[in-house]
A = this chain, B = another copy of it.
Amino acid sequence: MSDRTETATLREFNRTWTQRVGVLEESFLGTGRPLNVARLLFEIGPDGAGVRELRDRLDLDSGYLTRLLRRLTDDGLVELRPDPADRRRRLATLTPAGRASWRELDERSEELAARLVAPLTPRQRGRLIEALATANLLVRAATTALREVGPDDPVAREAAGRYFAELDRRFPGGFDPGVPDHEGRFLVATSAGRPVAYGGVRPLPDGSAEIKRMWVDDAWRGAGLGSRMLRELEALAVRRGHGRVVLDTNRTLVEAIAMYERAGYSPVERYNDNPYAQAWFAKVLT
């Protein structure tokens, strides 16, 4: 019903943004250098970057990227050297001249942003920035894919570490993960290669699946990533043949409990001997 006005608002905004900001940006950043060359220079950044990594980030053909890099090296802005760790790869770093160009790009971009909001009153400026921050979070959350991984995937391990660390901070008596357990399938959402949301399912002897280790990075909360993780974990459990999911949690985790209830979970009796668990929930999957 309101679907149509929702998409209309989104499309209208997109039109405004690309027309008023995107165009401005191109004319700003593109001075002197072709747009893709400028973007590449910007992406390499003061700390340098691997060529392979740049290819992924900018989604460019390898041959094309090589040629773009050539222009930058010819202009004396960038230096390429083999990666000592893997000599098939090359690392790109900015020369002093390159750093100067980078700073100039950065300043232009900063100036563009400042100029864009300048006509607004401070009050309206505040409203705009707040709206953009909200939209940024939600758009990122909406466009971040949940990837299925095993428990020993490096990203999964990093996420688990951060999950345990948070429990240790929040539980009054701390938290001890005990012996690592290599069972189950996990979903992770990543941003720039780092995990921002994580969760898993494990089969139980009675045929249910247990949802475990649900975790969302602080900076990504409030965007519905947790609910989405829960939904997709349930779908994963269904795919693996389970008709019912259970989970346990600690009374400290109030937001989590509220979310389980919103998602249709009902309290059940203790089904395990997890010493940290104080509440148990279950939901039948259709």
Interface of A toward B, CB cutoff 8 Å: 3, 6-7, 9-14, 16-18, 20-23, 25, 59, 109-110, 113-114, 116-121, 123-125, 127-129, 131-136, 138-143, 223-224, 227-228
Contacts A16-B140, A124-B141 aside, 19 further interface pairs with beta carbons under 8 A come to A6-B113, A6-B114, A6-B129, A7-B114, A10-B132, A11-B110, A13-B135, A14-B17, A17-B139, A117-B142, A118-B142, A119-B141, A119-B143, A120-B141, A120-B224, A124-B223, A127-B134, A128-B134, A128-B138
* B residues in contact with A125, CB < 8 Å: 6
Q: Which listed residue (B20, B22, B129, B142) contacts A116, Cβ 8 A?
A: B142
Instruction: Determine if B113 and A16 form an interchain contact, defined as CB atoms under 8 angstroms apart.
Output: no
Residues of B within 8 A of A224 (CB): 119-121, 123-124
Instruction: State the 8 A-B residue pairs at the shortest beta-carbon distance, nearest first.
Output: A124-B224, A7-B113, A13-B132, A128-B138, A131-B134, A131-B131, A20-B143, A131-B135
The docked-state distance in angstroms from the alpha carbon of A143 to that of B18 is 12
Report the bound CA distance from A123 to B139 in whole Å.
Answer: 14
A128-B116 CB under 8 A given contacts A7-B110, A12-B136: no
Q: In whole angstroms, what is the CA distance A227 to B25 when docked?
A: 27
